[in-house]
Structure 1
């Protein structure tokens, strides 16, 4: 299983969103400023996240994005699978040692399954709690 910078940024942006959505929809421009990434990159990520049913969008003044599910119902695996151009869950579940070309195929299959299981066990709620415990302030200026 490969998690690219795209997947890492999506997890970070979704954590940011989860921390601030109680105030209403969150504009991508504010997430972009806090995360130090380009707005166009976030727009691409959030398009994929919306397609996966993880976020909802609101247009117009005061518009932005909000989680489509409660933070405890969104796993890191959900986010990564939504934005990466690969079928992480399917690979881990269907690729067995007999299908592998390499002699260590079963090792990598087991590794991928463990990584996926871990990412499925961590939710946005967990990540928000970790950030708050570290002293990250929700009301921080942009």
Structure 2
């Protein structure tokens, strides 16, 4: 399974909102500028996240988006499934023998286990920890 830009940028949006949780709404423009992404593309991604109840929109001059729940209560799996659809590593065919199907299902379940147990709070913590370990290597 390969996560497309929809899933990756969707996680970026949600991580930005999670890092500002409790501080009020955040505009997509500020997220796009900070992460050097297309604001227009982020607008396309925020609609399904809002429809799924993961974010709320706030109207007005100082409006934007906020998480609908605490960052501890939203998993990467929820976000990825909203934007990418069900988790699947292969499309099964009649030619797949039981042993191969078993392997594909184990891989799918392992991926699901990781993304379903990783919350936005976890991702922000990993991001904060990684900021201290940035090294520049020259070859």
TM-score using structure 1 length:
0.81
**TM-aligned CA deviation for residue 45 of structure 1:** 0.8
Q: Which runs of 5+ in 1 are unaligned?
A: 137-142
What does residue 140 of structure 1 align with?
none
Match of 1:102 among 96, 103, 124: 96
Displaced runs of 4+ in structure 1, greater than 4 A?
A: none
Moved more, 13-22 or 100-109: 100-109
More helix by share: 1
CA contact (8 A) 1:100 1:106 kept: no
Which has more radius of gyration? Answer: 2
Q: How many residues align?
A: 129
In the alignment, the residues of structure 1 paired with residue 128 and residue 74 of structure 2 have an alpha-carbon distance, to the nearest angstrom, of: 18
Equivalent residues in 2 for 1:1-142, closer than 5 Å: 1-84=1-84, 86-88=85-87, 101-103=95-97, 104-135=100-131
The one-character-per-residue Cα deviations of 1:30-62 (angstroms, maximum 9, x if unpaired) are 000111111111011110100111000001111
CA contact (8 A) 1:56 1:66 kept: yes
In the alignment, the residues of structure 1 paired with residue 96 and residue 30 of structure 2 have an alpha-carbon distance, to the nearest angstrom, of: 46
In the alignment, the residues of structure 1 paired with residue 94 and residue 51 of structure 2 have an alpha-carbon distance, to the nearest angstrom, of: 32
CA contact (8 A) 1:13 1:35 kept: no
Q: Which runs of 5+ in 2 are unaligned?
A: 133-139
The one-character-per-residue Cα deviations of 1:108-133 (angstroms, maximum 9, x if unpaired) are 11101110111001000001112222
TM-score using structure 2 length:
0.83
**TM-aligned CA deviation for residue 100 of structure 1:** 5.8
- Pairwise CA RMSD: 2.2
Counterpart of 2:57 in 1: which secondary structure? strand
